[in-house]
Amino acid sequence: MSAGGGRRPIVAGNWKMNAGAPAEARALAREVRRLCERHRGAAVAVAPPFTAIVPVVETLEGAEVSVAGQDCHWEAKGAFTGAVAPKMLAAAGCRMVIVGHSERRRLFGDTDESVARKTRAAIEAGLVPIACVGETLPEREAGEAKAVTERQLRAALGGLGPAQLADVVLAYEPVWAIGTGRTATAAQAQEIHAHLRAVAAAVGGATFAAGLRILYGGSVTAANAGELAREADVDGCLVGGASLEAEGFSKIVAAVAETRR
Ligand code: PGA
């Protein structure tokens, strides 16, 4: 299969708990819009903190840049202090939502089960979930990277019907590479991505697996994005730190788009 297999890559910026003040978020979104929109070869998304979603959606109105939530609850409403429902994100203008990020799993108690519920609830609310999987350093060193990510993927897809599967975007984010400056090599990423695609085929069939976008995340920069995205099963990236500066982020978008020429 040629690089990308015809799948349009996605570059998604995960702002995490940064740039969440409306004015700051507007300024960053304006720059992302100005610098990224021309790179048609890759779809672009940004995931601001909840407080900045509406200002960012307003700033990006009419632009080809999607807005994503960084997390959601699986319930539609109710007594869940601090949580936001998928439908609320959709109503605020989000088209996507990140679920199961390793920081949510590690710091906020997300489990394979809750990630599965969130994934399904996101789809039912009309959002595209970016479901994250990834092993820790001890797990990698114990030779468990494939087994751990497979377990996480099977759980995330478990409750979905055939039509729902088509909406899922996957992100492989080795925990040891997130925010550490230690990117997985292109070969390490490809090995896990290929495995995840094979698992996806076993779960949802060959057509689903062939169309599934699998993003890589973990210390992606303009310097390494192109090399990663040239791998056959790497369909773009989920960018943390480097998404907070529009110029650098746009270079990542350009590098990924370039791999599909
Ligand atoms: P990083 O974060 O690019 O800062 O390593 C990636 C992520 O957590 O999505």
Structure tokens at 99: 């679920």
Residue found under tokens 């936001």: 84
DSSP letter, residue 7:
P
Catalytic sites, residue numbers: 101, 173
CATH of the domain at 100: 3.20.20.70
CB contact set of 201 (below 8 Å; sequence gap of 6+): 208, 209, 210
pLDDT at 4: 67
pLDDT at 238: 98
Structure tokens at 156: 């995330």
CB–CB of 55/87 below 8 Å? no
Please tell me the distance from the alpha carbon of residue 252 to that of residue 162, in angstroms, as a whole number. 33
Asked if residue 53 belongs to a domain, the reply is yes
Asked if residue 1 belongs to a domain, the reply is no
Asked if residue 2 belongs to a domain, the reply is no
Ligand 1 in reach of 240 Cβ (< 6 A) = yes
Ligand 1 in reach of 238 Cβ (< 6 A) = yes
Q: Which atom of ligand 1 is nearest to the CA of 241?
A: 4
Please tell me the distance from the alpha carbon of residue 216 to that of residue 123, in angstroms, as a whole number. 21
Q: How many residues does the chain have?
A: 261
Asked if residue 4 belongs to a domain, the reply is no
DSSP letter, residue 45:
E
List of long-range contacts for 190-194, beta carbons under 8 Å, 24+ apart: 190/231, 190/232, 190/233, 190/234, 192/145, 192/146, 192/149, 193/231, 193/233, 193/234, 194/232, 194/233
Q: Coil, helix or strand for 201?
A: helix
Ligand 1 in reach of 45 Cβ (< 6 A) = no
Asked if residue 170 belongs to a domain, the reply is yes
Task: Say how many Å lie between the CA of residue 59 and the centre of ligand 1.
Answer: 24
Ligand 1 in reach of 220 Cβ (< 6 A) = yes
Q: Which of 49, 134, 146 is nearest to 89 (CA)?
A: 49
Asked if residue 5 belongs to a domain, the reply is no
Q: Which domain holds residue 205?
A: 10-258
pLDDT at 55: 98
- Going by alpha carbons, the residue nearest to atom 3 of ligand 1 is 240
Q: How many domains does the chain have?
A: 1
CB contact set of 144 (below 8 Å; sequence gap of 6+): 135
Asked if residue 3 belongs to a domain, the reply is no
pLDDT at 1: 40
Task: Give the global pTM.
Answer: 0.97
Task: Say how many Å lie between the CA of residue 7 and the centre of ligand 1.
Answer: 22
Residue spans of the chain under pLDDT 70: 1-4
pLDDT at 135: 98
- Going by alpha carbons, the residue nearest to atom 6 of ligand 1 is 240
Please tell me the distance from the alpha carbon of residue 184 to that of residue 181, in angstroms, as a whole number. 10
Please tell me the distance from the alpha carbon of residue 60 to that of residue 95, in angstroms, as a whole number. 12
Asked if residue 139 belongs to a domain, the reply is yes
Pocket test for ligand 1, best of 11, 46, 239, 251 (most atoms within 8 A of CB): 239
